[in-house]
Structure 1
């Protein structure tokens, strides 16, 4: 089977980018590597969404992510997009990046560190979670589940802009995904159930409303028996998702350092980085570097045009089936 013809992303009035828009690897359905048939499906999806009254997030890169998440089935991608927009309106997503103040962040991080920190060797943002430190009882004395989810969504919006655009400018290529490190040190079977509620909500948000953001996932300090369980589970996962996941025990440092430069990896994980004030709260990365950072679009003055109410069309539930596999492996931010 011949490789797909390489193309430039379909141009439309929505495609206002100030960063590279060609994916570095020639994977079918990714920007710069689409077939004429895939380009036609982008246009079909965009046209159908416009007919429903949508005017935002119809750019080619966004539509391609939704199409890839549903194997280029236009009907399922459309239903996924419609459901996502409904959620965004109900959750108040568009307003969060410029208004949400997570003032209790430092206190919450004492019980659940989750943060972006510099980049991997491919130029992608590195996202880190320390699941073994989660103590929801203590956290809910400081914050609420609602504010934790608001913070999660705010960080996802900031990942889309300004983090990924800044990383793309610095790398000179389009970067749409993260390198995620999930530290399982201290996670025990008995402590996990109390955390399921929040993690499940967070996973659902990432899977259903922010598709195609997982680049590589390193599960480090995996407890005894975890790999055996995962080997069973991965039989049910999409092969594309399985290839992104690396389950490592306590001897993870060499493999992790093969992906993340030592100077970018916090010292507690075997790197050499020791940010002033701690890596967890530094938010260091190209998005903080003047040469690559630009004001995110959500922070610019609005033109006053609001999203139109979509016409009555209820999405079907079956579109969720294709994404269940990646939900299990998707990071919670």
Structure 2
């Protein structure tokens, strides 16, 4: 499997880099490298839209305290069974975020704290990208032993918002494995919140053989 990314207009890319020079002092950590700029251009289509989206992300990162989330040990430990960034990668080198849905209940979470944990995981996974090779992620939702009490639409809305606004084009593929038949009703709701591009990245995997097209099954955790 290889990456099939939309081409970037070189003139748009040059213009966006010029605009970024104007805010260099406001982006001391240089969070937005050339790969980041290309992701924003792919997602937001025009130089103006991409630049405005970058400004909003920069503001959000500061106000949300993204750089310091790793210091919040209490939240990280509390929600550590909800998701994990794996040591191993998928077939084409993407970092993997593994989410065992059976461990979740909408009745046993603080939405603000859990959203911070999600951002922490996205940050951790993004830092593991070999951007020269592949700069997006593989998210695996494992629905084994999934029940309707595990379904949390608000958390998914928050994840979709984060990916679309502040981690654009970071999602490479979303694998849904071990889905029970009744999940089709949940998916009909969730799919309505996704744009066509993102919906196209979601793949239901129905067998271990199919999963092998994306990753080695043995790398998935058995202790969560």
TM-score, normalised with respect to structure 2: 0.79
What does 1:120-269 align with in structure 2 at a 5 Å threshold? 120-139=90-109, 144-161=110-127, 163-165=128-130, 174-189=133-148, 192=151, 195-227=152-184, 230=187, 238-248=195-205, 251-266=206-221, 268=222
Deviation at 1:79, TM superposition (A): 1.7
Structure 2 spans left out of the alignment, 5+ residues = none
**5+ long unaligned stretches in structure 1:** 1-23, 269-277, 281-333
The number of aligned residues is 219
Higher relative CO (Cα under 8 Å, sequence separation at least 6) belongs to 1
Does the C-alpha gap of structure 1 residues 247 and 134 become closer, same or farther in structure 2, counting only changes over 3 Å? same
Q: How does 1:1-333 map to 2 (within 5 A)?
A: 25=3, 27-29=5-7, 34=8, 38-52=9-23, 54-55=26-27, 56-71=30-45, 73-97=46-70, 99-102=71-74, 105=77, 107-109=78-80, 112-117=81-86, 118-139=88-109, 144-161=110-127, 163-165=128-130, 174-189=133-148, 192=151, 195-227=152-184, 230=187, 238-248=195-205, 251-266=206-221, 268=222, 278=223, 280=224
Cα 1:131–1:191 shift into 2, 3 Å = closer
Query: In structure 1, how many angstroms separate the alpha carbons of the residues matched to 2:32 and 2:193?
Result: 32
Considering fraction of residues, name the structure with more strand: 2
RMSD over aligned Cα atoms: 3.1
State the TM-score, normalizing by the size of structure 1: 0.56
Q: Which has the larger radius of gyration?
A: 1
